[in-house]
Amino acid sequence: MRTQKNKIFVLIATISAAVIFSVIGYILLPKTLTMQITLNGENGTTLPKVAGLAIPLGITSLLSYLYYKYDNIKNLVGSLIGILVFILIFIFNL
């Protein structure tokens, strides 16, 4: 069983990483973010910067909290997928 101290560390670390990615993304990324790329390399789905950065921030924060509260490893994996989405947003848009 995971200790309360470890779960708090995971909660703080994942939410901190998401907030850092959001702030850096808000500074560096263009006003319209590409969220998906089509097979021929064109922009598929685009979103305004605020919405495009708020979605993975919300996913990561919510699932990190659920992991802390209910100790379900699926929530932790989902939270880490939210961090991966940030990385993909940076790759698609820089």
Say whether pTM exceeds 0.85. Answer: yes
For 7-46, how does the pLDDT look when each residue is reduced to its tens digit (9 = 90+)?
Answer: 999 999 999 999 999 999 999 999 999 999 889 988 899 9
Task: Compute CA distances 88 → 1, 5, 26, 34, 52, whole Å.
Answer: 32, 30, 15, 10, 12
Interval 44-66 mean pLDDT: 96
- SS3 (DSSP) at 83: helix
